[in-house]
Amino acid sequence: MPCEMTMEKFERLGTFHDAELRTVSHKAESELLELGFEKADGQFVVVSLRGVAAFRVSDMRTQNVVSRLLVHGTNIQFTEDEIVDRVSWVSRTCDGEQLSKPAAIHTLVQKVKSGQQLLFMLEPSWGAEMIVIAEKLAL
């Protein structure tokens, strides 16, 4: 089933500049990832990603400031090479060890390209960087 990203959700992603990632909750058994952000205006917002196939967060610190939240095909169009790079990053350790087989990476790349999976990226100003491959995004 194709992923859907409504215009309202797209527009709301732009309001996360200078928000701070405060919480990360992963519920593997239900393939759910919940991200809690404190926005610059003090409002606390939870972003839920469902049907999580893979994710990685690095450099989480006591302060994790967002530059942009990006969703491939919605507010950014990554090239195929960029998609491969980001999916490969999710599948590596901080030491560069590749944890997924090339076939598994290829499958995820194809699902992102076809719209079956979302490629969600938290681009940091400071602190946590994150990429998530999931089916749905809810704000």
Residue ranges per structural domain of the chain: 7-138
More confident residue, 47 or 101: 47
Q: What's the pLDDT at 2?
A: 43
Q: Is the dihedral of CA 102, 104, 110, 112 positive or negative?
A: negative
Residue 13 has pLDDT above 90, yes or no: no
The tens digit of pLDDT for each residue in 96-129 reads 767 778 889 999 999 999 999 999 999 999 999 9
Residue 27 pLDDT greater than 60, yes or no = yes
